[in-house]
Each structure stands twice: as C-alpha cells, then as structure tokens.
Structure 1
Amino acid sequence: MWREASGTDRAAIAAELDAALGGTGMFLLSGHGVPQVVIDDFRAAAKRFFGLRREVKAQYAIEAAYDGGWLEMHPPGGVGVPVSEDKDAPSAPDLHESFYMGPGHRTGDEQRDRFNYPANRWPVELPELRAAADAYTAHMLRVARSVNELLAITLGLPEDFFTSRARRATWTQNASWYPSYASIGEVARGQFRNGPHTDLGTVTLLCRQQGVGGLQAWTEEDGWFPPPYSPDSFIVNLGDLMELWTDGRWRALKHRVLPPSSAAPDEELLSLVFFFETDPDTLIEPLAAPVGGGRGLPASYARRTVLEKLGVSHDSVRVG
C-alpha cells in the first residue's frame, strides 16, 4: 500500500502511523514479502528444537544475558533475560523457552565482538534450524530496513536517517515457545507466558500465533487490550531506543503474553521475534522539537544502553 501510494495518500498514511506510534508504539505490517514457507520452516524447526531432551538443549544454554543459545523456562541457577523494571512485572518466572541468535559480524576486537556480536550456538543435532533461521532472518533484515525508511519519512527526515546508522547493526532473533496449560498445570498468581515489558532496541518484528493466552498491549488510555491480529501480517513495535531517539514523540510498546489458560488446555504458541537495534557505537541524540517530542531525554550510546538494561556493567562496554 505504501509503495504504490500517491504523495497525498502517503501523507495520510504517515499521519495515521505517527498517531499510532505516539499512542501505542505499534502497527500491523502487511505486504512484507516474506514467503509463508520460510516462516513455516523456521517455526517447525524451532518447535523440533524445543522438543529435544533437556540434556541436549542444555548444551546450548545461554551463559549471560547477551549470549545466543537456549533460554530455559526455569533455569536452575541459570541466566534469565530481565524485563523492564515495571511495577506490574511479576516476580514468578515467565512460562516460555526461547532460542536466541544474532549477527555473524566480526571486528577482530575480542571484547567488542563479545558484547556486540556474540557467537551463535547452533545445535549440531538439528542442522535444519540454522538453515531455516538464516533464511527467515535475511527477510527480517530486509523488512527492518524498509520499516526504518518508512519511520524516517514519517518524521520528515531523510529516508536513510536510521538505515545509515545501522550498517553493522546489533540485533537478536529468537523463537519463543509457550507450552500448553495441560503440560504446565496451575499457574502461579501474577505469572505470565511473558511478563509486562518494553523491548530494548529500535524496532521489533513479531510473527505471532493467535491464542487465548496470547499477546496484550497497554496504553494509559485503554489499559491492557489484545491487539489486532492478521495471519498475513507482522506486528511492528517500537523499543526503548526509538522512544529515546524521538525524544518521547513515539513510545516503546508495553506488552505481555498472557499465561496458558484452562479454557484452552492444549494451546501451544510459538512466536518468531526479531529485535533490531542500530550500529553499536551510535550515539543516539534525541531529535529536537518539533521532530522530537520535547521530553529532554539524555543522549546515550546505543549498545551500551541495551546492555546496561540487561545487567552488563558500564565499564565492560567499550564504545568508539
């Protein structure tokens, strides 16, 4: 729709998009050009990985919040991935497993690569997972570039404003499996498949499945609500870095995934989530009004900001 739109229609679309990103921080993206077979192959391969014995998956368990590999649902003394410090966030562990992967960039600087481009840990027992993930992620990089161009145009900036700062961007792709109520049993009070949080990067591309225990978004006006669902569309939501970059004109989407429900005891869901950031050394300087929102947020280096929210100390993160 955007590609074929006239100048007048583009202006109307941009105005609608601007309002949505200022209100909820999300929109539905159709016409993305990702073949359904690529989506299905990645989802099926990820499901096979989650079906492996625990001792097999444990060989690929992440060892730090910025690592690639398997995140166990209830890691015994292991590493979890923190969510935002929101007063609504539950204290009980989230009810999902994830497999994380990232870019294969290498700079030759061991410390920089460790914190910016950690090595992927592909399971040798399931070689098709890497092949399917790589095929899917190639499309995500393409779509993320197009989305960033659209966002720049919506703000009245040069089309390459964001993409020119994302030539060797940090990103994380994960497959997250939400087991059924029948397999988990009773859920603790206040426990979720994924607790309330905002994402850390610039934009997130979410390919989800509809469910009773599915996604909810939050706004100050409406509280929690289920966002629109279309099987042929992705949800695009903004993360903390984009809220910072626009100085609060746009908001990072606060969202959660409901716990498995006894109303649908056999429901399992598997989401494919692409978290895009920017070049790790980018100094994000909030845009001045009237392009920016005028909140007066402080400038910050992109990757340092993300890693500090994951619990990595300030002194560990080298920039420049």
Structure 2
Amino acid sequence: MSKASADIPVIDISPSNSEAAKQILAAAENNGFLFIENNAAAGMPPAKVDEMFDLSKKFFQGPVENKKECPTQNNRGWVSMQQETLDPGNQKRGDFKEAFNLGEFANNKPNQPLPKPFSNNVNTVADFSKSCHALCNRILELFAEALDIPSDWFSSRHDQSNGASGTIMRLLYYPSVSDNLAPEEDDIRAGAHSDYGTLTLLFQLPSQPGLEILTPSGTWSSVPVDPKNTLPIDPSAPLPILVNIGDLMSYWTNGLLKSTVHRVIFPKEARKGGEDRYSMAYFCHPLDEAELVAVPSKRIEQYKGQGGVEKGGKVLTAKDHLLERLAATYGTKA
C-alpha cells in the first residue's frame, strides 16, 4: 500500500508576492518543509542545476580510486557506501548511499582537495555553492520579516566573510538494488534524522522519489518530487526547490519552526533494479561561534516551546551542536 503524499506548499518568493514571508513561516510551523518556486527570484536557473547534476553523476560513476583520493575529513570529502548511519539507534546497517561533501569556497577556491571532475570545474562548483547561499539568505530574510526582527538577524550570522561555518554542499548517490532486501528492515537509503544546521536546500531529479517525512501522528508520508505535477506534460519546467528547517532554526525559535525528522527509502521501483537516485543538498549553517539562543521576537516569546540550548551552564554554539551530531552519525566521540 502506497503512503500518502505530504501536503507541502510551493511558495513564490518573488517581490510581487507580498505574502511570501507569512507563507514560509506558516509552512515551517506546520511540518518544517516547503517548496520554493524555481524562478528568477530563486536565482537557480535549471541549466545551472543540470550542470551540477552532470558533474555529480560523472564523479559517482567514476573509478573508486579517484574517490579514495579525497576521503572524509572534517565532514568534507567522499563518504563511501554504508559509511554513515544517520539513525544509529534503529538501523541494522549503514546508509545505502555514497556522498561527496564540499565545504565553503573562499574567492572561488575550495578549502579542501577536489577529485575529478570537480577539480576540472572549480568555477562551476563554486558558483553553484554561492547561488545556494544567496538563496538561503533570501529565505532567512523572509523569516526575519515574518518574525518582526531585524532583517539581518539570521543572515548576519551566516556571513561567511566573518568566519568559518559548518556549511556543506552534499552530492548524493543512492544506487538501485535487486529486490532481495527485507521489506521492513533493510529498505533504508538514509536513516531517519533531522538536519543539523539552519536550512537545507534539496535539488531532486524527475522520477526519482524516496524522501519521506515523519508526521505528528508518527506515520511516514512521502514527499513528491514534482508537487506541481508538471511532468510529463512539460519536462522542461524546472522542479521547485525543496527547503526544510534544521535543528538550529528550531532552537532559535523556541521550537516554533519544526526541524522535522525525515529519511530516504527504496521505492518499489528502485528495489527491482530500477532507476538510481541522485540528489544535491545544500546544508546552510551559521558561523561556528553563533550561539543557540532564542531570537528577540514577540511571536517567539509567546510560543511556549523550548528555546536555546545549554550544556553544563554554557550556551551551546552552532559548532558544538554540529560536532555532537557528527559524532553520533559516524560512531565517534565528540
């Protein structure tokens, strides 16, 4: 029996939409997920997205020796199949996926070694990362507007010119498999988790489903790849960009905005040797030293949630939280 599809709105953040700020806040309060219309206001032309997907496919389909040149260090580099376990309390095996993590760029230069084909296309990769960050800042400014706080309250804490952050652009590859996995135990491509940062932008390809979110009732609901149902009527129409709230945005807003647990499964087609799944996630993080305190908003003060994060009498920073979450994922000590 197929799962019900999650009701996630598609929001136009163009200046002509005077309700954009209210709409994204409502969506983030409801289930922590929303789609952004991929138009000029988003600044992510389909050709730019397609070019990055092409580079990603070339890397993952390339020789393993090439991947091993850049192993995971400080959450950057190649993540091999089943190296990660995003839900260590419930998973019997590691995630059935590969990934490549790209950190911040400085003056279009990477702060890590890059394998081919990324090393041969540094400007393309850097430009895509820059555009993703600009879109995140635009969304953060809309959240600030909706919460009636200074327009730069969030974006100033994400100004990469002022220091390092945990921001990662992650290229993901989920291979299809033969239909020999246990249907209830081994169907996880990426274990249940919430995202560690502020916002996540997710770019998907047509006909490659698998993402699910955990509903308040405790059931799983599938996330559509094409919520506007433009395909196959108009295959050239750009897919909306999926945005979800991360842990830090939830902490900053006393839990008003939901950092929703989600996972990636094997849809039936992928369990029968069908299509692989490729996606690209831009995990937007604030500066490492940004403190996890509630924002100065009357709306947040009135919300009876849990704001801020302390440990041992000390307010945690974005970096503190990230290191704890990574330690759990990789089975290491924070």
Task: Please tell me the TM-score bracket, short chain as reference.
Answer: 0.7 to 0.9
For residue 172 of structure 1, the aligned residue among 157, 163, 168 is 168
Alignment of 1:256-275 (within 5 A): 256-259=263-266, 261-262=268-269, 265-275=273-283
| Closer, same or farther: CA 128–233 of 1 in aligned 2, 3 Å | farther
* Counterpart in the other structure of 1:42: 52
2:262, 2:33 → 1: CA distance?
10
For residue 161 of structure 1, the aligned residue among 136, 153, 162 is 153
AA in 2 matched with 1:159? S
* Counterpart in the other structure of 2:128: 136
| Closer, same or farther: CA 157–40 of 1 in aligned 2, 3 Å | same
Q: Secondary structure at the match of 1:60?
A: coil
AA in 1 matched with 2:280? L
Q: Deviations over 1:253-273 (max 9, x none)?
A: 211111253565221111010
Aligned-residue identity in percent: 24
| Closer, same or farther: CA 306–255 of 1 in aligned 2, 3 Å | same
Aligned length: 288
Residue 186 of structure 1 deviates from its aligned partner by 2.4
Tell me how large the CA RMSD over aligned residues is: 2.6
Is 1:197 the counterpart of 2:193? The answer is yes
Is 1:217 the counterpart of 2:233? The answer is no
For residue 148 of structure 1, the aligned residue among 129, 140, 144 is 140
1:145, 1:202 → 2: CA distance?
11
* Counterpart in the other structure of 1:68: 76
* Counterpart in the other structure of 2:325: 309
Alignment of 1:276-291 (within 5 A): 276-287=284-295, 290-291=298-299
**Equivalent residues of 1:241, 1:302 under 8 A apart:** yes
2:173, 2:121 → 1: CA distance?
14
1:162, 1:99 → 2: CA distance?
27
**Equivalent residues of 2:202, 2:243 under 8 A apart:** yes
Q: Deviations over 1:177-233 (max 9, x none)?
A: 111224xx5235244111111000000000012446511112213721122433421
Q: Secondary structure at the match of 2:255?
A: coil
1:125, 1:133 → 2: CA distance?
10
Residue 289 of structure 1 deviates from its aligned partner by 6.8
TM-score of the pair, normalised by structure 2:
0.78
Is 1:187 the counterpart of 2:165? The answer is no
Is 1:244 the counterpart of 2:251? The answer is yes
1:129, 1:264 → 2: CA distance?
35
Residue 127 of structure 1 deviates from its aligned partner by 3.0
Q: Gaps (5+ residues) in structure 1?
A: 107-117
Q: Gaps (5+ residues) in structure 2?
A: 1-11, 227-237, 310-314
Alignment of 1:20-31 (within 5 A): 20-30=27-37, 31=39
**Equivalent residues of 1:172, 1:274 under 8 A apart:** yes
Q: Secondary structure at the match of 1:55?
A: helix
Question: More displaced, 164-173 or 255-264?
Answer: 255-264
**Equivalent residues of 2:58, 2:117 under 8 A apart:** no
| Closer, same or farther: CA 62–233 of 1 in aligned 2, 3 Å | same
2:297, 2:45 → 1: CA distance?
40
2:118, 2:49 → 1: CA distance?
17
* Counterpart in the other structure of 1:111: none
2:144, 2:296 → 1: CA distance?
14
